A and B are shown apart, each in its own frame.
Chain A
Amino acid sequence: MVNLPKKENHDSHHTLPPENVESSVIVEDLIATTNGASKSFKIIAIGLGIMSVLGIIALVLKWINYSDDSTRWGYVAALVSFLLSITGGAPMVAMGPVMAKANWVRPLTRLAAIFSFAGVSTIIVLIPLLFLLPPLVVDGTRRRSIWFEAPNYSPHIWGIIGMVLLLITGIALFYSAALPDFAVMRENSTGWRQKLGKKLARGWVGTDSQWRTLRMRIGMFGTFYFFVMVMVNFLYTTDFAQGVVPGYRDAIYTLYHTVSSWQGGVAALVIALWIVRRNMKLEKYIHLDAFWSLGRLLFALTLLWIYLFYSSFIVFWYGRSENDKATLDLLVRGPMIWAFLAGATFIWLVPWWILIWNRVRKSINGMAIGSCVIIIGLLLDRIRLFVSAWSVPQEFIHQKWLKQIPGTIYPDIFDVIIALGSISLSILMIMLMTKIIPVLSIWQIQEFNLLSKPIKFIKGHATLIAKPD
């Protein structure tokens, strides 16, 4: 071997820790992002608005044409699940690490909390499904459900209450953490934003007791949000998927749905962070560290997907009872095999091989690509689960197990427009929110600057991070 002369490039081995930014500069920079809107922002917003209106029209038209045939509504059910996953999952991601006192999460708490607002579109698309869901007593006999003795209207009423509660809790979580920033807006913004800040800051001046209350509220709403989110996932997956298929009984389904919704939420958050960082010029505040840590989380969640899927699959596959066989025939091997194969590829196989490399996790663009793949995979996975479940005619509901596997259902034009419209509406909500409040939490970034100090450590560089109680 020839010894090539080594380049003296000591500094490249040690990326310097990001410098602390002055507190006043943070305020100035972040308040500036809310002011005004560029031309392209306006054009995109108007385009998304038009798409949203079209989507709602398509939903109404579909209801007029097919309200008597529940088998045609699978794609709408899958869409609700998809939207629920992302808009419900993303805030969860910001809340969990906050409670574990992780610092990398600070730049993204606000953005994650804003995702809650997009939950509005989930509720809109859910409405027709509520009317299509069969009652608990069909032809005088009670069908299988988790509502053993409950009144007849239970699944419908609790389904919608859960979704609305999730939206409200999400907004409460957002608001409880936004008080100090509204106060900053009160002091530093102009025009209607200042008035809004004044109104919403509710006399925040940052006394000790106010900070204590703030932290308590975040902890409380965060914990509550977690429970509501798991409960909504539980209700939606049992009532709107397992409940409509005779004999389908999968105890892990809630867990599977919740975990893959975090996966989708993290992925959506990475993409949002990527866009915000580029388009709002926030490179100074959104560091590689955030992407890198999200990458590790996303990789862990991707592995969890296959674990939870396989845990359920092996039990059905090995069990081989009539019920087990019918479940697999419906969800995996049968009419939806294309969605299963494509979904598994995009939600697990490809991201696995992308995210396993530290180099990818440490690159901002690589993370964005991996996240896009996961989002596509999530959509396909939801299609597999919900379209197949809803394709079972409601006459079968009293069978002990599914004796006849229905054929493949393909989306019609309404489904496509509804999907595009509702996703547009979600994006639009998030975009508009970024103009109302700074997309990065000012106080979180200021606090981190206070708690961390770049130091020289032995031979390299390090950060000293305070861990207050």
Chain B
Amino acid sequence: MTTDVEKFGTRNWGMIADLDKCTGCQACVLACQAENNIPINTQDRVERARSISWIRVERYWEGDFPDTKARFIPIMCQHCENAPCEPVCPVYASYHNSEGLNVQVYNRCVGTRYCANACPYIVRFFNYWDPVWPESLRNHLNPDVTIRSRGIMEKCSFCIQRINRTSRKAKSEGRELEDGEIQTACSAACGTHGIVFGDLNDPESRVSKLKNHKRAFTLLEQFGTDPNVIYLAKIDPNKKGSEEGHH
């Protein structure tokens, strides 16, 4: 166990989401739902604003009328370096691991929901009921992912099960992890390759290179959260100069 920590200690997982490539197709949402055993968002759950989707594609408006344009942005847990959800948890269910991930330990969680209030991105979800799946989907559940019982919080884990699986594989083959070898469910599903996952500590990785792109920005930077999810702004061919795509 400790050797793993030592080995992974140098990593800092991050994600780049290129808004210029986002078509709003929601494939990432679907992939995430299947990968992470997220319960079906039935109509009544959506109506009562209790739906769970670790990644969601939000639509936002840009420009003033009549030149308004609908844009899409995928929002998932930003895995903040300075996460507001972490210090408020009384039981360390929400904490920062040595690989730069903001992890949620389901076993510890007692369900105070304080972390969710503290999160400016509203990407943490509470299980108001026990999760249920139709009989036909029972056998489709991912065995690598814990099913969350009622009364606890959950959120995007950057597909930690995939990170672990791939790292173990590389280790057993006696080699270093390659950049791009680990794919989260959403990055694998993105038809336009708009989501890139990788190690921000590796200067040669694609995420590190894209991080310094002139279109790069983070969401809600005024909260000082220092997210590990970095967005690349939408390119507007009709607009000159300003490339700031966010609000």
Residues of A within 8 A of B (CB): 318, 320-325, 400-401
Contact = CB atoms under 8 A, between A and B. Distances in A.
A320 B222 CA distance: 10
B191 interface: no
B82 A401 contact: no
A322 B84 contact: no
Nearest to A322: B224
9 contacts: A318-B87, A320-B84, A321-B222, A322-B221, A322-B222, A322-B223, A322-B224, A324-B224, A325-B224
Residue of B221, B222, B224 with most partner-chain A CB within 10 A: B224
B224 A321 contact: yes
Interface in B71-96: 82, 84, 87
Contacts of B223: 321-322
B76 to A, nearest CB: 21
Nearest to B82: A320
A317 to B, nearest CB: 11
Interface of B: 82, 84, 87, 221-224
A322 B223 CA distance: 6
Contacts of B87: 318
Contacts of A325: 224
Given A320-B82, A320-B84, A400 B224 contact: no
Nearest to B220: A321
Contacts of A321: 222-224
A224 B138 CA distance: 73
Contacts of A320: 82, 84, 224
A451 to B, nearest CB: 56
B127 to A, nearest CB: 27
B222 A401 contact: yes
Contacts of A401: 222
B24 to A, nearest CB: 30
Contacts of A318: 87
A35 B84 CA distance: 68
Nearest to A401: B222
B56 to A, nearest CB: 24
B222 A323 contact: yes
A94 B145 CA distance: 69
Contacts of B221: 322
A430 B241 CA distance: 64
A316 to B, nearest CB: 12
A323 B224 CA distance: 8
A322 B222 CA distance: 5
Given A321-B223, A322-B221, A325-B224, 7 more contacts: A318-B87, A320-B84, A321-B222, A322-B222, A322-B223, A324-B224, A400-B222
Contacts of B222: 321-323, 400-401
A231 B82 CA distance: 38
Contacts of B224: 320-322, 324-325
Contacts of A324: 224
A307 to B, nearest CB: 22
Nearest to B87: A318
B83 to A, nearest CB: 10
A401 B223 CA distance: 11
A71 to B, nearest CB: 26
A401 B222 CA distance: 8
A320 B223 CA distance: 7
Nearest to A320: B224
A377 B135 CA distance: 72
Nearest to B83: A320
B163 to A, nearest CB: 27
A400 B84 CA distance: 20
A208 to B, nearest CB: 62
B146 to A, nearest CB: 30
A318 B221 CA distance: 17
B212 to A, nearest CB: 20
A319 to B, nearest CB: 8
Nearest to B223: A321
A321 B82 CA distance: 10
Q: Which 4 A-B pairs rank lowest in CB-CB distance, beginning with the nearest?
A: A322-B224, A321-B223, A321-B224, A322-B222
Contacts of B82: 320
A375 B87 CA distance: 38
